[in-house]
Structure 1
């Protein structure tokens, strides 16, 4: 686990926006108890003797003409999230630290789980140097701590360099790597603040002469718990690895993920296209080995200035052919500005589904119109028009005709399978909602002899039915928002004298057992036959 700490994150974020502030003393201020106090000093202001929490008037007495800016914790949090996303170029598991655990003075931190990733950059030590150099290019001072537990990494990132300075060590002060099994040794000389304890607890421990983590390791836990609660023992166990400390990543770890990090930043669209082709071929190989196809792909471009630009595509069916996927990405690449250069490209497949080989008869006409060809055509449509603008029918488990199918985006997953097909004929056009008709039947429970629909009178020349359809027992309200409950329907196929053919139904039963006849019954026209 890596803890990446930015001791002057708030002020360095302002320096990136205002280059004239770089190297000059300035502070951010916040209103505290009716007065303005220093929230975060710049490194130059801190060197001039201005600590966090100092009243602004006292700060300007020490440094005349000191510039002050309003503190923006919300903006700092958003910038930290963006920076955590940018760190996704090195590991898919990143998360901004809880702002409640950040040190006062505008500090901030990011968690990076580099399990299985460090060897890609030449080892843990080299990865730590790469991170500090990259952050320095972005305008941030960063310190790296790497250990087996998040608590130990957090501690050495913030206090490991202080301990080395005290001992006169010449080790790299940008960060510290704790070897496996060396957490206890690394934590022993650090101050108790390294355990992320509340300020009042640290003050109480100082009054008892317990100023270093090693002091806490050598005293019984019972008296500490009785006086300070469980916070000390919990933080100790988390740092030593005796208790699990959950940390939620910013993004879910994606199983299908490939990356390319060129030797020099990419500045041309042609270079991006070459890199994308390489990523797609790598991903195709991984998908093929696992018999999977991608339904959605996301391309992240990490710029040298800290920006992250994205492009995504979707497919109507599982796909892994790199040439087809490249054509879908082609239109997206035109709108991506390389800016000052792209130093990393990451391609992920967040949605995958099984994709097996399909047997096509040698003499079949489907050789010319294979399903893959139709899928490629639909993919181009939805990526050009938008995933929500290309629809398909999705079958539903319902006997009610207007509920038997629904239109959904073509990319939307779901079952298109149904039970045994209906044995009775269905109209080629189903009305959006049944329309009321005035019907006259020769017998109460027989088909209409004539009916009026949309002010036109039709006489029945031929009728077939009834086909009785009952609703699901758990349905209470009609699907077209009618003010009555669903009832059993009797459907009839009618042919008028002029040749028009209709699908009509009678709502409800004419006579229930033990009841008097119901009159009148309502009739509806629901569909039209060819």
Structure 2
């Protein structure tokens, strides 16, 4: 069952700006005050208790704020019972206040470092904005005019909204704080938040628009105690960072997106298969329609998503566009909407754009060499080695030519990489000319310095065959070179598999096996053998008779009953035999020679020794 969460940050740009200012202010607050400058406590009145007419003692200092009778020096530090009884009735302290301590005390709970990346001493919750602060808006220049991209809550209450012209906003509100929008900074914050989500919440996260995220929660919410607890945890996490957030969980990304932005609730958890009814009363803007489609819908009197349900698909697509039908089906779950996840890895990439198109093999080889030199420097800075490379050549006619090559071991040897790339140049069709080339490394591995022996003790360093393997693979193909590696299975044809050429196989069985194992066992004819435990004396294989002079066995192997029912009682008895001509074979008989269900007593050739 698919469960998708849509996270919406309605004040992302405004709150990110204020958070950055708050962090810069906390950095400057650690500096000593300038000479002659009054401390903050002397310039601002000291805070008093919530009951301002009774006590003026500040919170957390000196007397506790609840001791209303400790003021004005009327009583000593420790008043006696007789002195309290002498006071008028309206001035006597309550019984629960008489036992309160008069000295300052520390917080009973130990302060813990926050998880939002801020220093431990910084406040975790966002600093409230004063009521007399000027309204803040962010603007962006679009063409010849400036447009409002974000507005704070105070500005929204005054009638300002995103999409309004900046001149109109200034005319409506005189004391307006206008700043330039930083769309790249907002995008960078969303990228960081998406990477954090991939590392802590879900393996699939994607950015949805300029102010939200999609989180694929299928099979992950049980790790956090359920969907409701996960939502509360996520909202509290963002509140500690200083951001206002709403979240909705539904079965489709479109429905979650609509409910998070237009549902009206901070947390919305939709039951499975309830998307159609849940989004019916929402406006059409919740479907992420274009401005042209929304204008056309308003002309036809369509305001809610439910107005589109009874309409035929053909006229609806003709009037509002085919994308409207697609968005509607995606929100209701009739059409799949894939989420493109963010990948927490930046692929090393180098690019060269040419002043003039090239088409000769020499020029292409030269540009590839320059790309490889740039790639080697990039890999060296990041401590990586190349395992696979992809070269893309952009032609003048818009076509692309792609070639790829790989290495058996991570390397940053520019000379070796150039040699491998030169072997593939002949497969590039330049056409009318190549105007741009890009080299990417989709597969890399960590590559650090390796200590080598000085050779003083007569030790010889083992030769590195990785370059030889790369050249042979480049000429013969990737599947031409391999090693055999053991696999956990008692059946001989299943006990081995192909491995990479530089793999060091381990775990081979101690019993002897033939050097060459046939792909499939071959039936033998005219076999003469003494049952049940003796090897054959003579047999015919591939039309040639053989007389056995020596033999060893049997080695009994049972079938793997958990795979198929036919192997429940299957038994093989293997023998190593030597013929008169010196040939050594590995034969087996189906069945143990006693019970008929174990096999039909037929003989097969399975391998050759030497």
TM range (shorter): 0.3 to 0.5
Larger Rg over CA atoms: 2
Please report the TM-score for the alignment, with normalisation by the length of structure 2.
0.42
Please report the TM-score for the alignment, with normalisation by the length of structure 1.
0.48
